[in-house]
Structure 1
Amino acid sequence: MRSLSQVLEFQGTNRTRLAKHVAEREKKAVKFANLAREEIKKRIEMENKAVEEHTRLKHELDMERFRCRALEAKLAENEKQLEEMQKNINVVAPIIRV
């Protein structure tokens, strides 16, 4: 009888230890899953911010290109006007010198 009670007590103790061990593993797994979920969320946020920054910079670059083209066109127009003015001065200048 005594050995049967010892066996039952031993089995009960082992079941309790096993249950604690399983509970601890589950707790660690849940903790790891939560940490992984948070890390994924952070990385997604960082990626979204990077995409937004890329879009903003691309738009800014397009605007600068447009501005550069406009300034180049204005410069070409001013150079053309300057050439015309110089031609007019050369045409008028000989008349004034005579």
Structure 2
Amino acid sequence: MLKIEVFPEDEKFITRTIQGKDGKPPRNIYEQTAYAYLGGKFPVQMKLSLDEGQPAYVAGTYSVHSSSYLVNNFGGLELKRYGLLIEPLEVDL
């Protein structure tokens, strides 16, 4: 299971604006910093994409929600390119 952590200092999102091309309007991108534990000594910094109006994730540990996976045209498992959702990990007592 992939563990993702949001630290208290990252409980906010950053808005970036991408300028439109060919007469299209600019688009806002909402991102939040998190850290993925990929098996190395330290977690790796990553960005979580948020939908417009979606609140930032609170500090805590998460895993990737099952709706964020798909089976590709070759029968392989992939993460969706857009719409990655994470869910809180249950704390072991």
Task: Indicate whether the TM-score tops 0.5.
Answer: no
Comparing both chains, which one has the higher relative contact order based on Cα–Cα distances under 8 Å and sequence gaps of 6 or more?
2
Quick check: which has more Rg, 1 or 2?
1
TM-score between the two structures when normalised by the length of structure 1: 0.15
